[in-house]
């Protein structure tokens, strides 16, 4: 009896993920323009035909790589019932994601390649930080106003939380400065949550 093979769809997805991993490493190390599809194929241990079977062009590969990095954890399972506790968890998640080395590297890549690809930068911003910011604003709108220490719109408080947790460290890293201390930045963001809201 013949051995059953894996589903072709799974093999194709695994191939895409391997290509993404190799392309990301090469793009971040050498720059998008300096890397050829032939180099990606060689590093991935695949033929150019296989690479072009998965992606029509290098630009298509770049767009797919950026899109794959924007699958942020917005799951609502097991989230605390209290909106302030839920907010604290969201802020922790977003801060760690925004300031992760991978996100910072892909930010640099998206910025450098978006000068003539407006949709790339827009997609990166819209489906990453802005999507998470909207989720934070939604949670802020569910907090009992009696628990708020300050009378500010949810949008303003969301900006304060993002600013405390990510803004300066992200810009610093993007400009070639040191990578952020994630634990320190998460603690700062959580401290702002504590400062903004009374306990239940």
Digit-coded pLDDT (tens) for 76-103: 556 788 999 999 999 999 999 899 988 8
pLDDT for residue 79: 75
Of 15-24, 31-40, 121-130, give the lowest mean pLDDT range.
121-130
Please determine, for residue 130, whether its predicted confidence score (pLDDT) is greater than 80.
Answer: yes
User: Is the pLDDT reported for residue 143 higher than 90?
Assistant: yes
Q: Is residue 74 part of a domain?
A: no
- 78 inside domain: no
Q: What is the mean pLDDT of residues 156-170?
A: 93
| CATH code of the domain in which 168 resides | 1.10.357.10
Q: What is the band of 152 on the pLDDT scale with cuts at 50, 70, 90?
A: very high
Q: Are residues 37 and 103 in the same domain?
A: no
How many domains are contained in the chain? 2
Share of the chain above pLDDT 90, in %: 56
What pLDDT score does 117 carry? 61
**Do 98 and 162 fall into the same domain?**
yes
Q: Are 56 and 118 part of one and the same domain?
A: no
Residue 19 lies in a domain: yes
Q: Is residue 70 in some structural domain? A: no
106 belongs to a structural domain: yes
Residues 31 and 88 in one domain: no
* Overall pTM > 0.85: no
Whether residue 188 lies inside any domain: the answer is yes
Residue-wise pLDDT for 20-62, tens only, equals 999 999 998 888 889 999 999 999 999 999 999 999 999 889 8
Domain carrying residue 42: 8-64
- The answer as to whether 187 is a domain residue is yes
CATH number of the domain residue 47 falls in:
1.10.10.60
Residue 53 and residue 89 in one domain? no
Q: Please report the pLDDT score of residue 112 as a whole number.
A: 78
CB-based contact 128:70 (threshold 8 Å) = yes
The last residue of a domain, from among 36, 64, 92 = 64
């Amino acid at each position: 009896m013949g051995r059953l093979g894996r589903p072709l769809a799974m093999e194709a997805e695994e191939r895409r993920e391997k290509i993404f991993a190799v392309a990301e490493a090469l793009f971040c190390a050498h720059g998008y323009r300096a890397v050829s599809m032939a180099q990606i194929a060689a590093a991935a241990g695949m033929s150019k035909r296989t690479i072009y079977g998965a992606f029509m062009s290098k630009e298509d590969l770049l767009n797919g790589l950026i899109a794959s990095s924007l699958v942020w954890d917005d799951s609502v399972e097991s989230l605390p019932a209290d909106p302030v506790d839920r907010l604290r968890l969201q802020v922790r998640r977003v801060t760690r994601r925004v300031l992760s080395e991978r996100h910072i590297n892909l930010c640099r890549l998206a910025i450098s390649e978006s000068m003539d690809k407006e949709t790339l930068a827009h997609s990166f911003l819209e489906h990453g930080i802005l999507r998470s910011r909207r989720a934070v604003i939604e949670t802020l709108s569910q907090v009992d106003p009696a628990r708020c220490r300050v009378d500010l719109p949810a949008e303003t408080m969301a900006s304060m939380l993002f600013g405390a947790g990510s803004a300066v460290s992200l810009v610093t890293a993007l400009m070639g400065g040191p990578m952020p201390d994630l634990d320190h930045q998460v603690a700062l963001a959580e401290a702002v949550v504590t400062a903004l809201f009374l306990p239940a």
